[in-house]
Chain A
């Protein structure tokens, strides 16, 4: 059935599939560990739970029954009841371990593989990490206005060269014309006025277009990614660990601002998670802010320090934007405007519209992110609810009722395209956002 080429292709695909499976197995341990274990366990350090480096070996040497360790992970009480070693292990701490009945043996093995692969700190670990908790700067400069100077420079260069060129041509002409006709530059321009005129016109149009396009870019902040005091990896927190956006940005559904996590919120987890490798130094930035020293079970000195972030999504002062209106009432997902933060290995940036449009479920827009065109474009297509206004709770029911009872023609006008959009209810009116 298969011809040669097809067979080759099939083999290739199979290999690729196996390869990805293998890679994903290897990664699985890390991701499970981070999401389920890291709150209480560290490879090399006793925390709420004991350190787990080479724990399989330890249990085996200690005389644990076979499979007992896996049983422990799934439900420690069952293991403790069956295995004296496990029973003894349960005395390590009075705090009870969470049960993980949903983990299968392969996954548990992958976790231990991952743990055992972690290098022992101090023994040839990450030397760079010892450098101290220095703020990590990212590459994009926040005040990148260099382009204006380049443009200005370019304009001057063009002027200099063209003037020089004209002069040289004139001189050449001068020589060619055997001094019979004394030609001044003015006369030459006059003589060739058609070409000169056309040329000037073309230059003027080009320059105007260029300027116009350039001015249109002013204030457009797409891609803006300022340096930050802490290299906060969203992909680990929101991606691998699956922490909900609103856990940290917890006023997104009640306030106009989404809110930055306060240090005490970071410490909910990072009191336990002190990191491994080069993370240790990064996490120390939080400890510095909280005045926390992890040694000896952790103490707070009371000397706190604010973390000064550089704001990424800046709206002008005359724009009123309310997160809760969009998140709580509009039901807009964070990724509609902020992109897929589970893949952002850094603090944040203003995600370009092309990238936003690639995200599944996002409303497709054309205007640049964080411009007014972008806002009102969305208001023009976003439906207040699918179909008529029903089912959105009392507020919209009342609006719906008034439309039906008092001005059905207006309602029909709204429904001409089969949907009621934000702008039809006033979402394009100035004083909805500007006051």
Chain B
């Protein structure tokens, strides 16, 4: 018996369609069928002879036309900017904050255009962490739907005119003692708060400037209210801390100190709070070679990214969370103050005991993704009982982000819809018509409000209902400052001159307050304002402010000494007071969650993010209901998803909101729950937020709805948010009904399977790793040979060699890469970074369905189960029952494996190319020469890793990709990396190991007259990895990091046994779990593992 790894249920279950598709590198069934069944085709009147004539003519015409060399213009600057050298990248340190994700970043610009973003590994507490949304945000800068100037009632207007009209209206409101509301996301920006206060003072007549949150004593009767509202709120944590400890804060969590992590549905590696920081901290302590390894329990409903990395993952319904927490409190010897402890069967009392035992060891950390105050109070209680507030949780150094005032927001919407609302509303960084549960009513009420202003940079759902739109810069065009945590400050600096006549939002506040004048495109108003503010305030730490300022811009951050955590007194009354609002159960509960790519939907028009396969489900371009496959079988949903068999549609109802969405199988989804992602359904009602946000037709163009508006992708789950307990809650009781109709879905999980070569991933338990030899968890391969006596003997792999070696090892360079499967948690940052760096085209849903996605790097997500027999050894195939399948698919383990070209030294692709378009370099790279390639696709068919991609179309010009591929419009093209060729139709392409970066790194070393050192060369994926799982370098340098990593006892090569000698290594995943089955396989039956092929 051996462990089986499988990507989808189709593979686990070996459906006939799966087997048929598995054997074809390029599946063509769908395309041919659909092409032939196209009615237009049969109506076509072009006979074959005409076609041939046209063909002949076109070939001749193209030949003649191709002779013409285009005249290229070369336009030098008039005045060369100091920091721009054409052809050389300029990097700027900046800060990313979109109201949800925060990171210190580095922005790469070429000739003044930002083309690439990565985390800043040198400065800032996020330590180089980033997520797909941050990396992809550079493309949103070039969204062609961005507003180019100010608007009034949907018509363009000069900013100056808009200003004077808005100011006149504000004067009128002031005169009649009216009320102005500024609705923004959490700004967390000291200077922005100051600018808002200037506006406040100009309206209320208040003379003193106060910190945010304090009401200013007004001298006039007019009122001004600044409400901060985040579409995904963490207000529950603040409220709970206020009740528990008297401080309405979000504490500073330190996952690098946590020896036991218990997470109740908190996706802290991907979307929960400061995930960009937590992911790095977490990865640091998952290294089995470190001093200690954290133990991670995840108790959740949806299979989340964080849950997929957990040592122990347990499934619950959201309503069961309180009971388990209460049981945990009891187990730890605390009082539950009336909340009854109950442990569902899926968790089991023994697991609660184990968790309590681990937490008692100290350095525990319990977190919950729930926004329910009662739940968070119970979490606080558990943390207080385990003394976490002295170690892993710091209440003294609180987080300033996520300060959503849900109650104020709800009151505001209520007032407005009841006609009692303010006279003027200004929206900044928020889109409540889309993201508030009662957005439609809000939209209606806005029409009746005297003055409505939006500062949005696209005509979004809210802006379309506002009288004035004064568009803000894109974040990459603007100055800003932040204070993400107490004692932490950060600057964002512009990396490009504003593309359009947009104005900084804060400048608008100052102008409307009468404190500043517009200065046009190159305005320095807000820059000077920040600088003045910093020099006047406590930032003036050093004697020379200019030096301090320049250093801070260079680093983008400035930190003061943080206050150490200290013990806090927990107020037990908090539990009782919130108990009545604990989540109510239901037969079926829906959990609303954020996807790694789409998140809150801010960047729904970003095609990179839409096409990013979801880390767990591997679905692109769609919104769906996730359900456990065993439940799906019971209820008659189709659980085998491939190109022919779409998903079954179901209607899901929460309150009075009903959507019809496909149901997608997600092993690990708690039975009795379904998951639904937020952030979809953007652009409803004709809001133009960008072409890629909408459904596209098969041959280009957006699908239109009955009103002629483009149809959004998916449904808006924000409408299902519950607000009963004074905060936004993301779980609810739901009703689901099987609609029995099919819906095609584009998923990549069935593409490019491993053909049952289970040796591609290796995992073990911490116990086996520490106490047993390499043979147990990472055995060397042996193959059978006949020795001189004619006996069959096992010999090490090194004795077998199919071909002569390339002179790569120890001579010159040998570029290598290791990927630590233990650190990788599948976030998808590497995939987006690769797409950004290598000009990888976006192909859209229809093409992904045909298995033609172009990503050079994919992340294979394998489910694994211990009880499944190896393929071919399944005991009784004919009498197979779903019971067997159930066991495997209910709550499987998950491994994420980034997979790209392995640059084999014995590359099978090279030998089959008839035109030597793919060759081997003496540095170990498998080179792809696009101009030689004639597109036979032999190479892709011969690649055991299935990492080669074929250009089926001219993605930069064919109309089918007009909506999705950014290279199709002049603006989107600006994101292309000028050092990498844009490939044309009919050629193969694949990961190049970022050869442009390798060449650049070598050149740097040559210029500095020194050998290539660690850090000179990194690939885009390695650069982007928040967990530092990817190490790249020169294997021939015996002191390099990569060499040490590749020689490590955990390192193995995927499919090493078939002898391709790749230049890539993976490192065995080590789970901190007790797993008797796996231990048995690895220790007692190890012969079985090493001999089967």
Contact = CB atoms under 8 A, between A and B. Distances in A.
Interface of A: 142-143, 145, 148, 218-219, 221, 224, 226, 251, 254-257, 259-265, 289-290, 304-311, 314, 317-318, 320, 322-325, 328-329, 392-399, 402-403, 405-407, 410, 425-426, 429-432, 434-435
Given A265-B80, A324-B1007, A435-B981, A309 B75 contact: yes
12 contacts: A142-B71, A148-B64, A218-B66, A219-B69, A259-B87, A311-B73, A329-B1003, A397-B1011, A402-B811, A402-B812, A406-B809, A410-B807
A290 B77 CA distance: 10
A304 B88 CA distance: 25
A402 B1036 contact: yes
A307 B74 CA distance: 9
Contacts of B981: 317-318, 434-435
Contacts of A393: 1006, 1009-1010
B73 A431 contact: no
Interface string B944-969: 00000000000000000000000000
Nearest to B931: A318
B79 A394 contact: no
A399 B812 CA distance: 5
Given A143-B69, A314-B69, A395-B1006, 6 more contacts: A255-B85, A259-B86, A262-B77, A264-B77, A394-B1008, A430-B919
A98 B438 CA distance: 80
A43 to B, nearest CB: 30
A48 to B, nearest CB: 23
Contacts of B68: 143, 145
A325 B1003 contact: yes
A256 B87 contact: yes
A257 B1010 contact: no
A397 B85 CA distance: 30
Contacts of B66: 218
B525 interface: no
Nearest to B79: A264
Nearest to A257: B87
Contacts of A410: 807, 811
B67 A145 contact: yes
Contact of A309 (B67, B74, B929): B74
B78 interface: yes
A251 B89 CA distance: 13
Nearest to A221: B69
B1010 A395 contact: yes
* Contact count band on B: 35 or more
Nearest to B810: A406
A150 to B, nearest CB: 13
A168 B982 CA distance: 57
A148 to B, nearest CB: 7
B331 to A, nearest CB: 59
B352 interface: no
B73 A308 contact: yes
B448 to A, nearest CB: 48
Contact of A394 (B73, B810, B1009): B1009
B263 interface: no
Contacts of B931: 318, 434
A395 B1010 CA distance: 5
Most chain A CB within 10 A, of B931, B1002, B1006, B1008, is at: B1006
Contacts, number: 172
A320 B85 contact: no
A432 B1002 CA distance: 11
A344 to B, nearest CB: 17
B67 to A, nearest CB: 5
Interface string B926-956: 0111111000000000000000000000000
Interface stretch (B171-179, B732-740, B992-1000): B992-1000
A142 B70 CA distance: 9
Contacts of A261: 76
Interface string B46-75: 000000000000000000101111011111
Contact of B86 (A257, A264, A329): A257
Interface string B1003-1017: 101111111100000
B992 A431 contact: yes
A218 B1011 contact: no
Nearest to B71: A142
A261 B1006 CA distance: 26
A373 B582 CA distance: 76
Contacts of B980: 435
B1012 A395 contact: yes
The 5 closest A-B pairs by CB, nearest first: A393-B1009, A255-B87, A398-B1011, A431-B927, A406-B810
B923 interface: yes
Contacts of B1009: 392-395
A329 B1006 contact: yes
Nearest to A395: B1006
Contacts of B250: none
A305 B78 contact: yes
B1005 A395 contact: yes
B73 A310 contact: yes
Nearest to B65: A145
A265 B928 CA distance: 41
B45 to A, nearest CB: 33
A407 B85 contact: no
A264 B1007 contact: no
A338 B812 CA distance: 32
Nearest to B72: A311
Given A265-B80, A407-B810, A260 B1003 contact: no
Given A290-B78, A434-B929, A435-B981, A310 B921 contact: no
A219 B67 CA distance: 7
B75 A306 contact: yes
A322 B74 CA distance: 17
Contacts of B1003: 322, 324-325, 329
A121 B599 CA distance: 72
B979 interface: yes
B922 interface: yes
B830 interface: no
B815 to A, nearest CB: 11
A403 B813 CA distance: 11
A406 B88 CA distance: 36
B457 to A, nearest CB: 28
Given A434-B929, A434-B981, A260 B76 contact: yes
A292 to B, nearest CB: 11
A92 B575 CA distance: 92
Contacts of A325: 1003, 1006
Contacts of B999: 320, 322, 432, 435
Contact of A403 (B811, B923, B928, B1002): B811
A251 B76 contact: no
B1061 to A, nearest CB: 17
B322 interface: no
A395 B1016 CA distance: 13
